[in-house]
Amino acid sequence: MDFDFSEEQRMLADSLGKLITDRYGFESRKAYVKQPEGWSRDIWAAYAEMGILGLPFAEADGGFGGGAVETMIVAEALGGALGLEPWFATVVLGGGFLRHGADATMREALVPQVAEGSLLLAFAHTEPQARFDLHHVETSATRQGDAWVLQGRKGVVLHGDVAGKLFVTARTAGGSRDESGIGVFLVDAGAAGLTRRGYATSDGLRAAEITFNGVLAEAVLGDPADGLKLARRVVDDAIAALAAEAVGAMDASLKLTLEYLRTRKQFGRAIGSFQSLQHRAADMMVALEQARSMAMYAAMMTDEPDARERARAMHAVKLQMGRFSKFVGQQAIQLHGGIGMTMEYAVGHYFKRLTVIDTQFGDAEHHLAALSEAGGLFVG
Amino acid sequence: MDLRFNDEERAFRQEVREFIAANLPNETRERMAAGRTPTKPMVVQWQRALNARGWAVPHWPVEHGGTGWSAIKRFILNEEMQQWPAPMPLAFNCAMVGPVVCAFGTEAQKKHFLPRMKNLDDWWCQGFSEPGAGSDLASLKCASRREGDHFVVNGQKTWTTLAQHADWIFVLVRSNPQAAKPQEGISFLLVDMATPGITVRPIITIDGAHEVNEVFFDDVKVPLDNLVGTENKGWDCAKFLLSNERTGQARVGASKERIRRLKRIATEAPGGATPMLQNPRFRDKLTEVEAQLKALEMTTLRVLANENKRLGEGKPDPASSVLKIRGTEIQQAISELFVEAAGPYGLVGADPEQDGWNEPELAPEWATLAQPVYFNWRKQSIYGGSNEIQRNIMAKAFLGL
């Protein structure tokens, strides 16, 4: 057992950290939000140049052979920066389907485009009735000769407004809550019959509602009746990445809060000298350190071959991250007082991002119920 | 970074299991698995077995009987013992006074006391807290003065755990009442409990157990040779001792054992229309604690894995107070779930001082123990530096407040 980063991993963290310090201060971010797409194409190009976008793909496919730890490092850094760019949608979600589900031809065609930053991806899975259940799919895929035709609606597709290609879950057989009969399809965003409406999410990032009206899929990934396993595998990776991103956001929230407690004066002294506030800050640190541990655990468990073991672990991770994020985010606002409530100041934006992360791929209560259903973590 | 146990660590875990299976008497395991604390002879037998194997004090310096293992291997040994469950080596000997004697003791003290501590030939207890000195330990008043070739000790200690079993006590005494700061006039003494003038009086805790005591010192003569470290510099020994205490307080293996046991119990315990484990409100609380325990386990491993680096830098790990706070909160939460699982038969309280009933059982033993354990475990967030003191430490040492 070894918790140390390798030399290459340290270099990755350092160089990405430097890029963020130089070009992604909170004031710069305010400018990026106002750009037409809600994020910065220049920064995206810089990520491509640094190798961030091709990082998790095999070298044979045109990537850099990074693993879960590298993804964790990137996610944590972007969490600390409140990154707006579609890294999570493209590299973690879309990239997850390419890594775990695409055949060699598809990987050969798409991975280099992702790595160079020219292709953006998204994962369209949520449906209005489905809440957090990945298997609750009513969007249908019907066979027409050699092709699959999609009909239905997907919602809250992260960065679905800009993606060039989408991975879409659709039902090929069975009832709307059956775990079998779900396929994962690759769809070109420009395909006939596809319409999308983009919008800003509550944390200032972007998403889209997408309607499929007789849309011809480009390809199906694996067995069209057994795609749920693949989708779950990708979501497990996504949960690990979100956990690391939340750690970055919590770490930044605590740093801002401590800085404020040291400098803000009331009653003639720094408010950080008051014990009631010190204990709140200490409890934030308790939460952060445990969150960090859970993010590492999540990274480790992404490689777990037993899907049920892996799912159990990710339920525990997402449950805990939801709890920690909510606590740290709320306390950060409270300890800042009024200034924490303002759009102008960073801490509220971390709070919002943490709130959104809890809501992505199942909130704490969803994963608590699922982990209970699975018999908990410590069995036998 | 590789957070999996490697082959060597897995093989070691197997070796530990085989050793425990071959050397721990069944009565000890059964008593502990029921939720009772082991008896004195059980603790002594087990520590001697560990010592014979060379495993009683893995963390001590190698020249004094330590094993030179990585922190992860030590974690594995502890975790396996706690999960079995088996008694832990007596903390007063192995985790508290032993390391202090290793670090600050004279050659004669090391030669005489350390082998006896390891083998539990002497049972030690801790004389730190006083009626007027709890969290503010440095305000202690128990006094010692030099008189010829002795110190003479007068005063009172309290909350002295298992002093009724003890052969020796390590005591913090006020040796210089004129010192500029309270911390500067304290000495660390080793005192034979058989010395005339020592009186031990039981304190019965709310669970009915006799676990802690008051210890009175009335003109107790202590040879000058029993001073550890420098006179009036005993606070250094105390700080060293307390900083060693924290990783042990996480007790991850013990909590895992309790959770597994509670799950077995709750598959049958009545929970209304279904057994307790199918009661969604109960089950979700249990699940939540399991997830919390995983976070604590990973945090403990992080702290341990960083230990060597940290010792090099001479700084405590910021995560170590987290272990004390969360470890105790989680253990307390589990004790509450036992009470909940026991339901009405929880009020048939067991007498912790009595080994079972002579008459037929009124209720399952686990149920009768649920409330006494819950009552007793409220101590965990109080002892070893209360959880509020831990937060003060964090604010000062790590948060810069």
Digit-coded pLDDT (tens) for B354-384: 665 556 678 888 999 999 999 999 999 999 8
User: Has residue B107 been placed in a domain?
Assistant: no
Q: Say if residue B71 is in the same domain as residue B135.
A: no
Q: Looking at chain B, which residue has its C-alpha nearest residue A273?
A: B401
Judge if B229 and B250 occupy the same domain.
no
Chain-chain contact of B260 with A297 (C-beta, under 8 angstroms): no
Q: What pLDDT, in 10s, does the model give residues B263-313?
A: 999 999 998 899 999 999 999 999 999 999 999 999 998 888 877 666 555
> Do the chains contact at A289 and B318, CB–CB below 8 Å?
yes
Of residues B317 and B330, more confidently modeled: B330
Structure confidence at residue B71 (pLDDT): 87
Q: Are residues B194 and B261 in the same domain?
A: no
Q: Do B298 and A293 touch (CB under 8 A)?
A: yes
Supply the CATH number for residue B54's domain: 1.10.540.10
**Is residue B15 assigned to a domain?**
yes
3-state helix/strand/coil string of chain B: CECCCCHHHHHHHHHHHHHHHHHCCHHHHHHHHCCCCCCHHHHHHHHHHHHHHCCCCCCCCHHHCCCCCCHHHHHHHHHHHHHCCCCCCCHHHHHHHHHHHHHHCCHHHHHHHHHHHHCCCCCEEEECCECCECCCHHHCCCEEEEECCEEEEEEEECCCCCHHHCCEEEEEEECCCCCCCHHHHEEEEEEECCCCCEEEEEEECCCCCEEEEEEEEEEEEEEHHHEECCCCEHHHHHHHHHHHCCHHHHCHHHHHHHHHHHHHHHCCCEECCEEHHHCHHHHHHHHHHHHHHHHHHHHHHHHHHCHHHHHHHCCCCCCHHHHHHHHHHHHHHHHHHHHHHHHHHHHCCCCCCCCCCCCCCCCCHHHHHHHHHHHHHHHHHCCCCCHHHHHHHHHHHCCCC
Cβ of A262 and B287 within 8 Å?
no
Same domain for B50 and B134, yes or no, is: no
> Are B50 and B159 found together in one domain?
no
- Reported as a pLDDT band with limits 50, 70 and 90, residue B243 is confident
Cβ pair A286:B302 closer than 8 A: no
10-residue mean pLDDT series, chain A (380 residues): 90 98 97 97 98 97 96 98 98 98 98 98 96 97 96 98 98 97 98 98 98 98 97 98 98 98 97 98 97 97 95 98 98 98 97 98 98 91
Cis peptide before B85 (omega within 30 of 0): yes
Among B27, B203, B200, B166, CA closest to B91: B166
CA–CA separation, B301 and B110 (whole Å): 31
Nearest to B3 among A291, A297, A368 (CB): A297
- pLDDT score recorded for residue B308: 64
The dihedrals phi and psi of A219, each to the nearest 5 degrees, come to: -165, 160
Give yes or no for residue B247 having a pLDDT over 70.
no
Mean pLDDT, rounded, of chain B: 92
Which residues of chain A have a CB within 8 Å of the CB of B324?
none
Determine whether B245 is an active site residue: yes
- Kindly identify which residue of chain A lies nearest to residue B296, measuring between CA atoms: A290
Instruction: Work out the burial of residue A313: count CB atoms within 10 Å of its CB; fewer than 13 is exposed, 13-18 middle, 19 or more buried.
Output: buried
- What is the pLDDT at residue B163? 98
Q: pLDDT-based confidence at B336, cuts 50/70/90?
A: very high
Q: Does residue B223 lie within any of the structural domains? A: yes
Nearest CA in chain B to A258: B399
Number of domains in chain B: 3
Do the Cβ atoms of B4 and A6 come within 8 Å? Answer: no
User: Which domain range does residue B365 map to?
Assistant: 246-397
One of B15, B184, B214, B245 is an active-site residue; which one?
B245
Which of B211, B233, B255 is at the close of a domain?
Answer: B233
- Model confidence at B385, pLDDT cuts 50, 70, 90, reads confident
In a domain, B114, yes or no: no
Q: Are residues B256 and B199 in the same domain?
A: no
| ipTM > 0.90 (yes/no) | yes
Query: B52 and B138 in one domain?
Result: no
Distance, in Å, from the CA atom of B186 to the CA atom of B236, rounded to the nearest integer, reads: 9
pLDDT of A233 reads 98
Q: Please name the residue of chain B whose CA is at the shortest distance from the CA of residue A300.
A: B3
Residue A292 near residue A80 (C-beta atoms within 8 A): no
Band the pLDDT of B314: cuts 50, 70, 90: low
B258 and B213 in one domain? no
What's the CATH number where B227 sits? 2.40.110.10
Report chain A residues whose CB lies below 8 A from the CB of B254. Answer: none
| Last residue of one domain, picked from the residues B68, B89, B110 | B89
- Looking at residue B1, what is its pLDDT? 82
Domains and CATH numbers, chain A: 7-118 (1.10.540.10), 123-226 (2.40.110.10), 229-373 (1.20.140.10)
- Write out chain B residues lying below 8 Å of A272, CB-based: 395, 399, 401
- Is residue B17 located within the same domain as residue B69? yes
Same domain flag for B207 and B147: yes
Q: What is the pLDDT of residue A255?
A: 98
Domain contains B296 = yes
Q: Indicate whether B361 and B276 sit together in one domain.
A: yes
Residue B95, domain member (yes or no): no
Contact criterion met (CB below 8 Å) for A35 and A200: no
What residues of chain A lie within 8 A of the CB of B400, using their CB?
258, 262
The contact set of A with B (CB < 8 A) is 1-6, 9, 69, 258, 261-262, 272-273, 275, 277-279, 281-283, 285-286, 289-294, 296-297, 299-300, 315-316, 319-320, 368-369, 371-372, 376-380
- The answer as to whether B391 is a domain residue is yes
pLDDT at B357: 53
The pLDDT value recorded for residue B248 is 72
Which of B199, B233, B267 finishes a domain?
Answer: B233
Q: What local confidence, expressed as pLDDT, does residue B296 receive? A: 96
Query: B84 in a domain, yes or no?
Result: yes
The domain spanning residue B344 has which CATH number?
1.20.140.10
Question: Which helix H or strand E contains A265, and what residues bound it?
Answer: strand A265-266
pLDDT higher than threshold 80 for residue B23: yes
What is the pLDDT at residue B316? 64
Longest CA–CA separation in chain B, Å: 75
Say whether both B132 and B214 belong to one domain.
yes
How many Cα neighbours within 13 Å face the side chain of B142? 30
